[in-house]
Amino acid sequence: MNRRILWGLPLLLFSLYPINGHAQAKLAIYGTVGGEKSGLPNQDWTVAGTFGFYYGLLHVGPIDLSVDARGDLSSNINSGLIGPRAAVKLPIIPLKPYGEFIFGVSTYSRTAAGLKDSNDFAYRYVLGLDTTILPHIDWRVADFSYGINNSANGTHVKTLSSGLVLRF
């Protein structure tokens, strides 16, 4: 994927932001720890971490629309991904399920074909659940992602993690 396109994508997403909309400027940073299955032959689940941030673009009723950017790190895969995020704040109970479609680049330390340091386009579907534990701190109860990485012959990577979210 062309680097200009990858760097221009966040600018495009922010330019689509409606100026007259009732936007809720909301920034949050997060970090999680869990496991990742790379999809490579003879590779089991490994310890993985995710860090990133999301920026709220629009708040409509119980729905928040944001842009999420994250990095996923494990012994097999390093990824940089960005994309839209939608979350729903449930009434009465402090739970916020969310979903994302993120895309970017993944780098494998070794691919199924035996290539070392291979990188290419990747995308993932993410589903998760946050709950408020303090006024500006959420516990990311679960963050599950499923995706395709072209750099390793289209392997199906899966991650499951838990962590903290700091909201500003």
Q: What is the pLDDT of residues 61-104, one digit of tens each?
A: 999 999 999 999 988 888 999 999 999 999 889 899 999 999 99
Q: What is the pLDDT of residues 49-61, one digit of tens each?
A: 999 999 999 999 9
Take residue 113 and report the two structure tokens written for it. 């074909």
Residue among 106, 119, 118 nearest 147 (CA)? 106
Distances (CA, A) of 16 to 48, 69, 126: 33, 17, 22
pLDDT surpassing 90 at residue 107: no
Distances (CA, A) of 48 to 33, 62, 88, 105, 161: 6, 31, 26, 17, 8
The answer to whether the beta carbons of residues 74 and 46 sit under 8 Å apart is yes
Amino acid at 150: N
Contacts of residue 151, defined as CB under 8 A and 6 or more positions apart, other chains included, come to: 106, 107, 108, 111, 118, 119, 120, 121, 122
The count of other CB atoms within 10 Å of the CB of residue 37 is: 19
Q: Determine the average pLDDT of the residues in 162-166.
A: 98
Per DSSP, the three-state class of 148 is: strand
pLDDT class of 116 with cuts at 50, 70, 90: low
80 DSSP 8-state letter:
E
